[in-house]
Structure 1
Amino acid sequence: MAHKVIFHLPRRELGREDIEFVVEQDGKRFGTLLVSKGAIEWRPTNKVYRRKLSWTKFDQLMRTIGLRV
């Protein structure tokens, strides 16, 4: 199950404007990952809500359940 990731970078220092990563699976949009100075957010396709983690919480999550590589 390969994913295709497309991203758009803002033309200024990362701050209020997020970096957006569009993730596709089997040629269809799977979701969008939004990265900002304050947090990381996941927006699933066809959903109104986003899931948000602070960088501290993201670090804790990755250390707890992320696979070591």
Structure 2
Amino acid sequence: MAHTVTFSVPERALGREDIEFVVKRDGVRFGTLLVSKGAVEWRPTNKVYRRRLRWERFDQLMRESGRKV
């Protein structure tokens, strides 16, 4: 299960405009990670909804559940 991640960066300071990271698993689009000034969002492929975490909550989850490397 190899993942490939690509991204495009807007030509301006990061603010309300998201940076999009396209994530593929075994060559098939798995989802899109959207990073903005205020939050991080995950949009699964073929889904209408997004899942949003504010940066404070993302930090908390990574500290509690992330693996140390």
Where on the TM-score scale, by shorter chain, does this alignment land: which range?
over 0.9
| TM-score computed with the length of structure 2 as normaliser | 0.98
Query: Hey, what's the Cα distance between the residues in 2 that align with 1:4 and 1:60?
Result: 26
Alpha-carbon separation, structure 2, partners of 1:67 and 1:32? 22
Q: Which amino acid aligns with 1:3?
A: H
Q: Secondary structure at the match of 1:52?
A: strand
Q: Give unpaired runs (5+ residues) of structure 1.
A: none
TM (norm. structure 1) is 0.98
Percent sequence identity is 74
Residue number in structure 1 paired with 2:68: 68
2:22 matched residue in structure 1: 22
Q: Give 1:33's aligned residue.
A: 33
For 2:4 and 2:27, the matched residues in 1 are separated by 8
Please identify runs of 4+ aligned residues in structure 1 that moved more than 2 A.
Answer: none
Q: Secondary structure at the match of 1:43?
A: strand
Tell me the matched-pair count.
69
**Structure 2 gaps, min length 5:** none
After TM superposition, give the deviation of residue 29 of structure 1 in Å.
0.3
Instruction: State the partner residue of 2:58.
Output: 58
